[in-house]
Structure 1
Amino acid sequence: MTQTAPRRSMLTRFLDGVERTGNALPDPVTLFALMIVMVIIASVIAAAAGVAVPHPGTGDVVEAKSLLAADQIQRLLVEMPKTFTSFAPLGYVLLVMLGVGVAEKTGFLTVALRSLVSGVSPRLITAALVFAGIMSSLAADAGYVVLIPLGAAIFMGAGRHPVAGLAAGFAGVAGGFSSNLILTPLDPLLAGITQEAARLVAADYVVEVTANYYLMLGLVPLFVIVGTWVTDRIVEPRLPKWVPTETPIPAVDGDVSAVERRGIQAALLSVVVLAAGVAALAWAPGFPLRGEDGSFLPLMRSLVSLMFIAFLVAGIAYGVTTRVIASDKDVVRMMADAMSDLGVYIVLAFIAAHFIAMFSWSNLGIISAVVGADTLRSIGFEGSPLLVSLILLAATINILVGSASAKWAFLAPIFVPMLMLLGLSPEATQAAYRIGDSSTNMITPLLPYFPLILIVGKRYDPNFGIGTLVATMLPFAIAFGVASTAFFVGWLALGLPLGPGISSTF
């Protein structure tokens, strides 16, 4: 008798459709190339139609320019190297990752995550896992590769269901991706893209790396509380009582050796010494990291460089102490390996830089911003409701396009200028995007680490599939999205700064 295949649930069929649709999309680089073609066509049509608007700042008439005009073609070819190398996020990311690469290749960041959750009281283990996941955005891929399987193993060792530990770690890593106690490589990356977009309206506008720091800092305890509550009250109770399987489960070492502990101590000591040096350089007006007027603006604008130095120094201190680094050649090799890991990003940065530049040259950016702002103003749609709509849009797009920088590179030139004309600062628009982008990370099958997490889940449940994982993580996605959006709206209502000296209004 022929066995019929088990009936697939509606959720599983829906997710399969999402996966097929997402996999059918071109690579992000190809998407940007297609959008460049669309911008060229739109510029030709708009220029031929004589489309023009008054500039909101100067009042001058801004006319659409055809990108196929002789001067525009010449500009594209002559300025191509400059367009690429002057793309603000590129320099920021390359510089920070030179330091992060050493800290990661020596094993410092991975061991730091392990030490954070090892030896924690069983009553606090869920909160510790979520918190460690949030902080793991400092360590690039380490959170997905190390923390999620470690969380499952720790829960199993405590007699709790390992899938609940997997879920808590995954929620922190993916859902808390945009929040941290410390600035991460994502901050300069998004700030650079936002700055490029803001200059469509204000030519000299500067977006600081700390643009959203206060808000993202405030989200950390919120995500820890929400993630812990969802794990303990919703996710774990619906799981069956954990009964160890007969099949041995691969061990995940959560202990930190004596050598690794000494390495961490050396790394932390080096960072403390560096922090003391930075404090000395910013001690009084006129010092290198303090303005003549007493402001800390030079310090704020040096944070990318200081992040690079901090990661580099900590990585070297850890590597030398643990003997992973034997000579200067090892440090150079690790920095080179970090750069090679960024090959795909560099290609993406090249095409994204030209998309943003050509969008600006055609004047379609400012024209669409003015027209869009006028339309929204005429229907009275502005302020917090507009930012909440952007959060929902970013959360939805994130299901099909995973890269945070890729999505922001094509959303920023439209939304940042438009919302500036409606009185919202570029920093507020960026914050709204970050909240929406992170909330659905844990339920998209297109996340690069989704297959890895499925494999970890199958260690404990042979039937663990896409539907199981999404059903497990959906309460986290909803709770994180609702809580962070409400938190953001309340933050704006109270008029609190998004970062040092950063207002939500333009």
Structure 2
Amino acid sequence: MTDTPAAPRKSAIDRFLNVVEAGGNALPHPATLFAILAMVVVVLSWVFSQFDLSVQHPTTGELITPVNLVSVAGLHRILTGLVTNFTSFAPLGTVLVSLIGIGVAEHSGLIGAALRQLVLAAPRFLLTPVMVFAGVMSNMASEIGYVLLVPLAGLVFLAAGRHPILGMAAAFAGVSGGYSANLLLGTIDPLLAGLSQEAAQIIDPAYTVSPAANWYFMIVSTFLVTGLGWWVTERIVARRFPDAPKEDGGGRIEPMTREERRGLLFALLASAVLTALVVWGTVPADGFLRNPEDGDLLNSPFLQGIVALIFAYGVVAGVAYGIGAGTIKSDADVIKGMGQSMSTLGVYLVLVFFAAQFVAFFNWTQLGLIFAVNGAGLLAQMQLPGIVLFAGFILLTATANLFMGSASAKWALMAPVFVPMFMLLGYSPELTQIGYRIGDSTTNIISPMMSYFALIIAFLQRYEPKAGIGTVVAVMLPYSVTFLIGWTILFSIWMAIGAPIGPGSPLQYIPAG
């Protein structure tokens, strides 16, 4: 009689991931979740209106009480506001406009060619930092880093005689773990800024948050993430995946074609011309992109039109590349690229519709303001240093990200509470947004709820057929922990120095008047 082999004992990481996966799968679709939460807010508005609950508005001194939406007046407001809640939702237009422009650059092949040229031109000893850096830069173009750069990184490392999983890990760390770092602005910046602005206006109806609100911090973070990702890859992950070149020489990639090189040259020249126009409009004191009244750059059409500039760069560079490479033959190809980027947003539009209702209902009830005032009062009594408060907030966000992968969906839930709360403690919405982005980015690479997590497993299985969730997490966990610690330290240093985090974005919130 043959003994049945005992089942392999699961590691602590595997057991933890089973809990995370079960908890995440138990949640409904984010759109359904927002629809449920919107209804819950309506019910809570009735519940809290039955109590003698009120706070004093921190800036106007007005007495704030819960607004009951379970009433005739509340029903009328919901019916008449359903459409405008959606169409006036701040992140909607900015994301659509940005993606139209980036869609042209992606459809023409510009983004793919630029990333490919970047990794192919790097010396062997710089492959790792270049791969991490390319991953960070690719996140400005939505999913292109996941679907193109990660598998390409495996091929590049294989061709260089290194383990392909090492390259994919480095690229994935940059794409997903470095999601809130970049030298340029992408679609996520106006999206999060719009949600932050909606939340900030609970306290200050005139408050605006620029898509470039975190730009300075993002630029420094790009080099931080690249350096940390390089160190983790070579010092920790490489020990598990030593160099083992394939004997058959497989995995080599073709060099850039003449058409692709010509396309990149055309795109570079076109971008240079557009950049020269932007410089001409911003550098001179009377530049045409400055505020026409006082010449100010912070409150200027330039910064207020960042989304339009993202659109313009995407279209101009994309069309130029397409002409040079021969991938764009007519205006129909340009429109096709724009249309393809829009065709991927069906689920997003549904999500935004319900998220917009939740945010609007929550604002109408004034519960967010009441919770923020009471929460701020409690935190003020605790007298904790700001760095400690934000470190806790970063950890809370990082934990929540394990169960809910969408950055915009989480921020739509958290911003209406935490942005006003920190504003009442004297911290700007832009600073709170940075804290959120750090926590959200650092655990992307170990969260099974991240939308591309299954795709990463499939890529790894090409070289490790038995790879699964535990494999990905075991590989990426060192990046996640290192990024979380390193980024939090940078955030703390930034707060201590008091440097601006973006153009016209202070760390402190000072009520107007």
TM-score range, shorter chain: over 0.9
Other-structure match for 2:167: 165
Other-structure match for 1:46: 48
Other-structure match for 1:154: 156
CA-to-aligned-CA distance 1:29-78 (integer Å, 9 cap, x gap): 11111111221121101111131110001101011111112222111111
C-alpha contact (below 8 Å) 1:149/1:252 kept by paired residues: no
Other-structure match for 1:464: 467
Whether 1:305 and 2:313 are equivalent positions in the alignment is no
Q: TM-score, normalised by structure 2?
A: 0.95
* Inter-CA distance 454–51: structure 2 relative to 1 (3 Å threshold): same
Secondary structure in structure 2 of the residue aligned to 1:460: coil
C-alpha contact (below 8 Å) 2:403/2:449 kept by paired residues: yes
Whether 1:68 and 2:70 are equivalent positions in the alignment is yes
C-alpha contact (below 8 Å) 1:100/1:312 kept by paired residues: yes
* 1:468, distance to aligned residue in structure 2 (A): 1.8
Task: Supply the distance in 1 between the matched residues of 2:141 and 2:457 (Cα, whole angstroms).
Answer: 21
Q: How many residues align?
A: 504
Task: Supply the distance in 2 between the matched residues of 1:101 and 1:349 (Cα, whole angstroms).
Answer: 20
* 1:287, distance to aligned residue in structure 2 (A): 4.3
Alignment of 1:248-287 (within 5 A): 251=251, 253=253, 255-287=255-287
In structure 1, which of residues 326, 329, 332 is the aligned counterpart of residue 329 of structure 2?
A: 326
Other-structure match for 1:23: 25
Secondary structure in structure 1 of the residue aligned to 2:50: helix
Whether 1:387 and 2:426 are equivalent positions in the alignment is no
Whether 1:398 and 2:401 are equivalent positions in the alignment is yes
Matched letter for residue 365 of structure 2: S
In structure 2, which of residues 414, 432, 445 is the aligned counterpart of residue 429 of structure 1?
A: 432
C-alpha contact (below 8 Å) 2:203/2:420 kept by paired residues: yes
CA-to-aligned-CA distance 1:290-320 (integer Å, 9 cap, x gap): 1232211221111111111111111111112
Task: Supply the distance in 2 between the matched residues of 1:32 and 1:67 (Cα, whole angstroms).
Answer: 17
Task: Supply the distance in 2 between the matched residues of 1:281 and 1:222 (Cα, whole angstroms).
Answer: 31
Matched letter for residue 64 of structure 1: P
* Inter-CA distance 252–305: structure 2 relative to 1 (3 Å threshold): farther
In structure 1, which of residues 476, 489, 492 is the aligned counterpart of residue 479 of structure 2?
A: 476
Task: Supply the distance in 2 between the matched residues of 1:451 and 1:379 (Cα, whole angstroms).
Answer: 43
CA-to-aligned-CA distance 1:322-355 (integer Å, 9 cap, x gap): 2221111121122112111111111111111111
C-alpha contact (below 8 Å) 1:285/1:293 kept by paired residues: no
C-alpha contact (below 8 Å) 2:162/2:245 kept by paired residues: no
Secondary structure in structure 2 of the residue aligned to 1:423: coil
Matched letter for residue 9 of structure 1: K
Matched letter for residue 484 of structure 1: W
C-alpha contact (below 8 Å) 2:162/2:242 kept by paired residues: no
* Inter-CA distance 337–57: structure 2 relative to 1 (3 Å threshold): same
* Inter-CA distance 7–283: structure 2 relative to 1 (3 Å threshold): closer
* Inter-CA distance 254–376: structure 2 relative to 1 (3 Å threshold): farther
* Inter-CA distance 254–73: structure 2 relative to 1 (3 Å threshold): farther
Task: Supply the distance in 1 between the matched residues of 2:93 and 2:243 (Cα, whole angstroms).
Answer: 51
Other-structure match for 2:122: 120
C-alpha contact (below 8 Å) 1:144/1:449 kept by paired residues: yes
Other-structure match for 1:353: 356
Other-structure match for 2:100: 98
Task: Supply the distance in 2 between the matched residues of 1:99 and 1:189 (Cα, whole angstroms).
Answer: 15
C-alpha contact (below 8 Å) 2:140/2:186 kept by paired residues: yes
Deviates more, 1:224-233 or 1:3-12: 3-12
Deviates more, 1:193-202 or 1:321-330: 321-330
Task: Supply the distance in 2 between the matched residues of 1:202 and 1:363 (Cα, whole angstroms).
Answer: 13
C-alpha contact (below 8 Å) 1:62/1:363 kept by paired residues: yes
RMSD: 1.7
Task: Supply the distance in 2 between the matched residues of 1:254 and 1:358 (Cα, whole angstroms).
Answer: 54
Secondary structure in structure 2 of the residue aligned to 1:75: helix
C-alpha contact (below 8 Å) 2:158/2:245 kept by paired residues: no
Other-structure match for 2:186: 184
Other-structure match for 1:288: 288
| Runs of at least 5 residues in structure 1 that lack an aligned partner in the other structure | none
Other-structure match for 2:10: 9
CA-to-aligned-CA distance 1:131-175 (integer Å, 9 cap, x gap): 001001122211111211121222222222222111111111111
Task: Supply the distance in 2 between the matched residues of 1:252 and 1:335 (Cα, whole angstroms).
Answer: 32
CA-to-aligned-CA distance 1:84-141 (integer Å, 9 cap, x gap): 1111100100111110111111111111111111031111111100100100112221
* 1:6, distance to aligned residue in structure 2 (A): 3.8
Whether 1:205 and 2:207 are equivalent positions in the alignment is yes
Secondary structure in structure 1 of the residue aligned to 2:64: strand
Secondary structure in structure 2 of the residue aligned to 1:235: helix
